[in-house]
Structure 1
Amino acid sequence: MTLRRKLLLVALSTLVLPAVGLLYVRQMEQMLRHAQEQALTASARALARALTVADAALPAPGAAWYVQPAVQPIVIDGYGDDWAPLTPWVQRPEQGLRVLLAEDSAWLYLYAEVQDATRTRREADDPAALQADHLVLTLRRGAAQQRYLIASTAPGAFRARPLDAPTADLPDPLDGEWQDDGSGYRIELRIARAQMPDHLALAAYDADAPRRFADDVEPRPLLAYSAPLARELAQLAPDGTRARLLSAEGWLLAEHGSLAVRDAVRGTPAWLSALVYRGLIAPALSGSQALSQDAPRVDAPEAWQALSGVPAASWRAGTEPGSVVLAVAVPLLDRGETRGALLLEQASRSVPLLANRALLGLLLASVAGLLIAGGLLFAFATWLSLRIGRLRDAADVAVRREGRYDGAFPQADAADELGDLARSFARLTDAVGAYTDYLRTLASKLSHELNTPLAIVKSSLDNLEHAALPAEAQPYLARARDGAARLGAIVRAMSESSRMERAIAGAEGEDFDLAQVVRGCAEAYRALAAPRRVECVLPESPLPLHGAPELIAQALDKLFDNALSFTPEDGWIRLGLRALPDGAAIEVANRGPLLPAAMHGRLFDSLVSLRDATSRAAAPHLGLGLYVVRLVAELHNGRAEARNLDDGSGVAFTLVLRGMARQRMV
């Protein structure tokens, strides 16, 4: 990973600051919401106690019938078309029975559906009607109570038969409409408001599954929206809230107020602020959805919890942009009994607005700090990366040519750690360059300096040959002459190596066929290697290369001479040439002793040799041949390698060539 990426990761660690700030803003927002919950809950408790103390007409505990206001005139025909707007709030006193009640200024309407696929029909005045499919309607008004048997053999108008003694407070007779189909039957009837009951019970009898019902079904009270309760609620409800009084089953008995936002904090937050609040600060606004103003029943979790006797609160998103709604429900307790619930709702924009302002301010400060810190760190990393890159490039140039120092290191005058590193590199390359130059000129200097004393030694030995020497001195004279000859060979080899280095440094490339060069060298080596076998493996097609063919031939001579000196007379020498994706490889293998493991990395250095230096008869060897091979390989952007053969029979030297760089015409 680069230095810039590492520092960029360090800069990204500052993201923990806005994350911690977000947690702080969330806690602050939760505290604000909790405070508002406590305040509104206290108001709801006070209002509930006031309604109880004021002896308001609260509903009786237990189940009841809810009478909805008729939104349109209802025609008594036995069909449910007129009841369609009221069907979402149908009442089910028992399984298979659906009941709807409605009222207007003149009538109380009742609509019932009974699911019964198999019918046993009788008329209401038939004595056997109680054993057929029928309904029993019970009406109670004050102390008066009357039961009615409703049955019919065919669709159309019906007249219910009273089962009790007639009373003037309740209707007699009771007429309605009967309709049926394959799934069951429906009845529809109406009662004048002058005889409207205050309790009602309705039970269905199925002849295929008889069960007792008429004597066991207790009439339930009738409940409806109460204008007097609404007026009393309006006098007690806090400003800026919507108050709803609910029965024990969640039916709406009274209502006052609206959810208009009236916060003192001015200014409506933009859509982005609302999105930030709901997405980051308060994602848990999971309260019940906004309830319709015309809904006769409140079906909300907080309402049901309050009806069970436990106060509850919830938050939901408001209908106006950037607002939230707090709903608090408390039970209406009278002598230990829950007679209903009081639901207070309050719309607010101050909580989201304050939280948004805090979060946006924190985010802006955090993002600004992050951008500044990240920009500074990235700029610093880029500056360091550039400086290190220039230092690396200078080091590559310095060691590119056998340790020669080409130019000065950049930033050597800087006062920081990179400046110290640049100065250390400069001192190191100066020392390496000076030592390398000394080694490069050592051969030429020695050969030049040794020529004169060697000539003096040779002339002195020549003069001694003409002088009269005793016979016992002749062996010493021969040894001295042999030593002088060996010194002369050493001087010539050093001079040749120096000339070879200069020739390599000044070589110019040309296009030639490398296969032809290797083939010509192999033909010449056969006579020199006898009686040893010389094998040559060449590609069938030409192998073009851009380089110095004379230098490659000389490097090949060095490799062959090295192989020849280590190959026994009954051995073999193999020359091979193969093409590479980016150049070519020449391999010279021979049978002979294996390479020591410690010498694998030093064979191609100057003045390194594996030949036996104790033999006086052998020609002197300075170990410069393989060094020249390495110089030729590097001139052609390649390398020289040595390895032992896999079968352990000998060694192989490989010269990898990729070609010299072409010079551009200026």
Structure 2
Amino acid sequence: MFWKNTSIRLKLIVIGIILIAIPIAMSNFYIREMDRFLWRGQKEALLTTAKGIATILNDQSEFFRQNTAVPEVLGKQGALYTQRIEGAIQLNGDTGDWESMQILSNYFTGEDPQFCDLDYDLNSFSIKNIIGYNDTYLYGLFEVNDSERVFRDPTRVTLNSSDQIHILLERGNGSLERYLLLSNEPGRMSAFLMDDQWELPLTGENVAEVQGELAETDWGYVIELRIPRSIIGYRSKIGFSVVDVDNPETREVRQIITTSPRESGEEPTQVIVRSPGLTKVLEGLGPLRSRIWVLDRQRQVRSVVGNLWNPPEPGFSDIETNTEPVQAQFIPIRMLLDFVDKIFPEPPLQFKDYSPSSVDRPDQIVVSIIETGNPRADIRMSLDNKAEIIVAGHPIFAGGEIIGAVLVEQSSTEASSLHYQFVRSLSVVTVLAFFSVLVVLVIFAWRLTMRIRKLHNITEQAITPEGRVRMEHIPKQDPSNDELGALNRSFSGMLSRLSGYTRYLEELPDTLAHEMNNPLGVVSSSLEMLEDDIPQTRNNRHMQRATYGIHRLKSLLSSLTEAASLEEALQDEEKEPINLSQLISDFVAGNQYAYSNHEFRMDNQSPDLFIDGSPEYLAQMLDKLIDNATEHSTPGTLIIVRSRKNRHYAEISVLNEGPELQEDILDRLFEPMVSGSNHDARKPHLGLGLYVVKVICEYHGGRHRANNRVDKRGVEFTVSIPLLDLSAQRFIEEHETPNSA
């Protein structure tokens, strides 16, 4: 529907825009496909590099030895994978608060291997651990798989005889503090500061600052912990252990699981440290344009060398610098480049990613490589989502087992910068080229539509709304030899033929009247002479019928000539100020007795309605309105003639009582040869009376309408004629004479 109602100019502009959009879209598709191809090649290259480094490190298990320490989780990212928490964790035994941190979960068995693998029995004792923190607290979640739950026996003095949590805290000065959390039943746990053997509390009082909540599950229990960071301190280190007691009678400790590998239960938990020898091997590979990570089986970082971002080649920045002054000289190009920069933003030269001092890499690709033993390459976003980073990894084997993995990473910033410059230049050239095409199309569309609109305006002026031809040919024909020029000349010829035919139709009523009046006069005079010669024929029915037919023909010819000559007569008529209300009153009073079968009532609501018009033709218009009202009304009924002021118009209404009009004909009643009801066949009726009303009304700049009466008793015909302005009315009222109407 929109396309049908759109101009040719707009259609051509839309087509031009589509023609521009297609190559731009294809160019974008081509660039994306090229990027995909380059990314694939770069991933394969990094994967080859990772495979080569892994081959060098295979069977080099001495680079992956473990040293004893406690995981440091505060102050920097530690081996206990932590995540900052916005808000607070509710200690209620519900793990819903931890959903967003499930990716950082650790699974421990307390055996060798420490982490769960595919062969591990899920029904045995194990834990799932998540650590999080905010500005005030350190939070811990321990989901324990334990078939037998043993709570604290209040009658026992020692506290190491039930399922419990051990927290080992190492201060900055090397001193150790031990906290034990246990519970008599599901719910709030008690915390005590313990001795070296984890048997007796040092003070016997509950440490209120350290809080825990225990909730039973179908497979064991869940413990949520909350420790104030003020207790831990900034440079302190912390470790956790889960103690399992299965026999409620003997209450012997069956197993202890710590959150890191350990040498013995009495020593602090362990942390993986960097290997200087491994770093020396990697640095010996030569200058690197990527970053290499070596991780052990537990995803702990053993060595990091290289950088993610390399400065551009010499001359790369020179090209951009040299073109800037040229671009600045052309403001349209500068504006175009700014627009392109909004669509294709320049890649950032700086971004935030894993620090070389990180102690672990919780990436999914690392987990996949270590668990499956398959090399893998992928693309990830930097930590601040500003840059894309290609990651390729390969497992490291020793004795047929996976002891670690190699990650080779390279930032897309360098390639993106080159891509940005390429897209920027290509976009400018493409847009300028197709913009020139669009300008040509717009000029052509403007010229084409101007010719069409000129032809449209001429044809609209050549014919009146009633269908009369005003001009015989198009004044200025289009000299072009194209299709529009031929159409212009075709319209000119058509107007010439139509004007000749219109003149013939306009002269036809006068010709018919002239040609038919003579025979009618002969017939009429012959009938009169026949009546005089033969008196017996005066009352003869056939004689009366012939006489009536002659009178009817004369009336029809009079109506035809009246309608045909009215418009031509109005062109020479001069208007004068008149009081329309007085004119209507005098006309109704003078014609009261001409319609003896009806009663007339004058409803003059506004006594002074001054208009600029022709009294003679206004009287003719009133005559046609009243004649139409009486002709289509019930004999003996009331005819109401009303005059009133309606804003800036003098309104004349004629109401009769009789049959109503059909709704579909109300808008066509004022057209020639249209009748609204079945009329008496004995009366001449061509449907020209209301057409005469229309012509006279429009000559006075007025409006006309026909409506069925609101009371459903008949029809109301209304004519509205513009009033004179107030200053003219006051002048007329001051100088009006009695005969001015």
Structure 1 residue 547 displacement after superposition: 3.7
In structure 2, relative to structure 1, the CA distance for the partners of 1:394 and 1:57 (3 Å cut) is same
Q: Residue 404 of structure 1: SS of its match in structure 2?
A: coil
Which shows bigger deviation, 431-440 or 318-327?
318-327
In structure 2, relative to structure 1, the CA distance for the partners of 1:388 and 1:319 (3 Å cut) is same
Counterpart position of 2:625: 559
Structure 1 residue 317 displacement after superposition: 6.3
Counterpart position of 1:36: 42
In the alignment, is residue 294 of structure 1 matched against residue 324 of structure 2? no
C-alpha contact 2:289 2:410 (8 A) present in aligned 1: yes
Choose from 131, 135, 148 the match for 2:199.
131
Amino acid at match of 1:529: Y
C-alpha contact 2:170 2:236 (8 A) present in aligned 1: no
Which shows bigger deviation, 22-31 or 220-229?
220-229
Structure 1 residue 225 displacement after superposition: 2.2
C-alpha contact 1:594 1:651 (8 A) present in aligned 2: yes
In the alignment, is residue 6 of structure 1 matched against residue 22 of structure 2? no
In the alignment, is residue 507 of structure 1 matched against residue 573 of structure 2? yes
Counterpart position of 2:469: 404
Equivalent residues in 2 for 1:317-336, closer than 5 Å? 325-336=389-400
Provide the C-alpha distance between the structure 2 equivalents of 1:651 and 1:215, rounded to a whole number of angstroms.
Answer: 106
Choose from 636, 641, 660 the match for 1:575.
641
Choose from 32, 35, 57 the match for 1:51.
57
Provide the C-alpha distance between the structure 1 equivalents of 2:464 and 2:51, rounded to a whole number of angstroms.
Answer: 90
Q: Residue 231 of structure 1: SS of its match in structure 2?
A: helix
Counterpart position of 1:242: 291
Choose from 503, 517, 539 the match for 2:605.
539
Which of structures 1 and 2 has the bigger CA Rg?
1
Counterpart position of 1:170: none
Provide the C-alpha distance between the structure 1 equivalents of 2:171 and 2:407, rounded to a whole number of angstroms.
Answer: 24
Provide the C-alpha distance between the structure 1 equivalents of 2:315 and 2:384, rounded to a whole number of angstroms.
Answer: 14
Provide the C-alpha distance between the structure 2 equivalents of 1:273 and 1:254, rounded to a whole number of angstroms.
Answer: 44
Provide the C-alpha distance between the structure 2 equivalents of 1:443 and 1:405, rounded to a whole number of angstroms.
Answer: 19
Provide the C-alpha distance between the structure 2 equivalents of 1:346 and 1:401, rounded to a whole number of angstroms.
Answer: 77
C-alpha contact 1:67 1:223 (8 A) present in aligned 2: no
Equivalent residues in 2 for 1:217-366, closer than 5 Å? 218-219=263-264, 223-236=272-285, 239-261=288-310, 266-268=315-317, 290-308=353-371, 309-315=373-379, 325-347=389-411, 349-364=413-428, 366=430
Counterpart position of 1:119: 192
Amino acid at match of 1:405: R
In structure 2, relative to structure 1, the CA distance for the partners of 1:289 and 1:342 (3 Å cut) is farther
How many residues in Structure 1 have an aligned counterpart in Structure 2? 573
Q: Residue 639 of structure 2: SS of its match in structure 1?
A: strand
Counterpart position of 1:136: none
TM-score (norm 2): 0.61
C-alpha contact 1:90 1:98 (8 A) present in aligned 2: no
Choose from 683, 698, 705 the match for 1:634.
698
Provide Cα deviations, 1:275-317, integer angstroms capped at 9, x if missing partner.
989976999x9xx951223333334333333332343434456
Counterpart position of 1:97: 167
C-alpha contact 2:166 2:241 (8 A) present in aligned 1: no
Structure 1 residue 51 displacement after superposition: 1.8
Provide the C-alpha distance between the structure 2 equivalents of 1:639 and 1:189, rounded to a whole number of angstroms.
Answer: 97
Amino acid at match of 2:37: M
| Identity %, equivalent residues | 25
C-alpha contact 1:501 1:628 (8 A) present in aligned 2: no
Counterpart position of 1:20: 26
Provide the C-alpha distance between the structure 2 equivalents of 1:503 and 1:625, rounded to a whole number of angstroms.
Answer: 17
In the alignment, is residue 212 of structure 1 matched against residue 253 of structure 2? yes
In structure 2, relative to structure 1, the CA distance for the partners of 1:412 and 1:10 (3 Å cut) is same
Provide the C-alpha distance between the structure 2 equivalents of 1:235 and 1:342, rounded to a whole number of angstroms.
Answer: 16
Counterpart position of 1:171: none
Provide the C-alpha distance between the structure 1 equivalents of 2:338 and 2:513, rounded to a whole number of angstroms.
Answer: 92
TM-score (norm 1): 0.67
C-alpha contact 1:67 1:224 (8 A) present in aligned 2: no
Structure 1 residue 394 displacement after superposition: 2.1
Provide Cα deviations, 1:523-575, integer angstroms capped at 9, x if missing partner.
22323223421133343464454443432222111222343455565233222
Provide the C-alpha distance between the structure 2 equivalents of 1:203 and 1:603, rounded to a whole number of angstroms.
Answer: 102
Which shows bigger deviation, 248-257 or 552-561?
248-257
Provide the C-alpha distance between the structure 1 equivalents of 2:564 and 2:241, rounded to a whole number of angstroms.
Answer: 125
Equivalent residues in 2 for 1:375-394, closer than 5 Å? 375-394=439-458
Provide the C-alpha distance between the structure 1 equivalents of 2:577 and 2:26, rounded to a whole number of angstroms.
Answer: 70
In structure 2, relative to structure 1, the CA distance for the partners of 1:518 and 1:251 (3 Å cut) is same
Counterpart position of 2:208: none
Amino acid at match of 2:24: P
Counterpart position of 2:496: 430
Provide the C-alpha distance between the structure 1 equivalents of 2:662 and 2:80, rounded to a whole number of angstroms.
Answer: 102
Structure 1 residue 152 displacement after superposition: 8.8
Provide Cα deviations, 1:164-217, integer angstroms capped at 9, x if missing partner.
xxxxxxxxxxxxxxxx9999899x999xxxxxxxxxx9979899x986389997
Unaligned ranges ≥5, structure 2: 83-107, 109-128, 130-164, 182-189, 206-226, 322-335, 726-741
Amino acid at match of 1:212: V
C-alpha contact 1:315 1:327 (8 A) present in aligned 2: yes
In structure 2, relative to structure 1, the CA distance for the partners of 1:87 and 1:274 (3 Å cut) is farther
Amino acid at match of 1:306: I
Provide Cα deviations, 1:382-435, integer angstroms capped at 9, x if missing partner.
334333333332233222275132474355544344444434443443344333
In structure 2, relative to structure 1, the CA distance for the partners of 1:372 and 1:270 (3 Å cut) is same
Provide the C-alpha distance between the structure 2 equivalents of 1:554 and 1:400, rounded to a whole number of angstroms.
Answer: 24
Provide the C-alpha distance between the structure 1 equivalents of 2:662 and 2:231, rounded to a whole number of angstroms.
Answer: 107
Q: Residue 517 of structure 1: SS of its match in structure 2?
A: helix
Structure 1 residue 31 displacement after superposition: 1.5
In structure 2, relative to structure 1, the CA distance for the partners of 1:307 and 1:90 (3 Å cut) is same
Provide the C-alpha distance between the structure 2 equivalents of 1:202 and 1:603, rounded to a whole number of angstroms.
Answer: 100
Choose from 483, 507, 524 the match for 2:590.
524
Provide the C-alpha distance between the structure 2 equivalents of 1:519 and 1:509, rounded to a whole number of angstroms.
Answer: 20
Q: Residue 405 of structure 2: SS of its match in structure 1?
A: strand
Counterpart position of 1:145: none
Q: Residue 329 of structure 1: SS of its match in structure 2?
A: strand
Structure 1 residue 267 displacement after superposition: 1.6
Structure 1 residue 343 displacement after superposition: 2.2
Provide the C-alpha distance between the structure 1 equivalents of 2:407 and 2:177, rounded to a whole number of angstroms.
Answer: 31
Provide the C-alpha distance between the structure 1 equivalents of 2:556 and 2:198, rounded to a whole number of angstroms.
Answer: 141
Q: Residue 224 of structure 1: SS of its match in structure 2?
A: coil
Provide the C-alpha distance between the structure 1 equivalents of 2:465 and 2:342, rounded to a whole number of angstroms.
Answer: 67
Provide the C-alpha distance between the structure 1 equivalents of 2:435 and 2:381, rounded to a whole number of angstroms.
Answer: 34
In structure 2, relative to structure 1, the CA distance for the partners of 1:626 and 1:432 (3 Å cut) is farther
Provide Cα deviations, 1:450-488, integer angstroms capped at 9, x if missing partner.
7888889999999x79xx967789999x99999988887
Provide Cα deviations, 1:10-41, integer angstroms capped at 9, x if missing partner.
33433243233323322211221111111111
Provide the C-alpha distance between the structure 1 equivalents of 2:421 and 2:43, rounded to a whole number of angstroms.
Answer: 21
Provide the C-alpha distance between the structure 2 equivalents of 1:498 and 1:182, rounded to a whole number of angstroms.
Answer: 107
Counterpart position of 1:550: 616
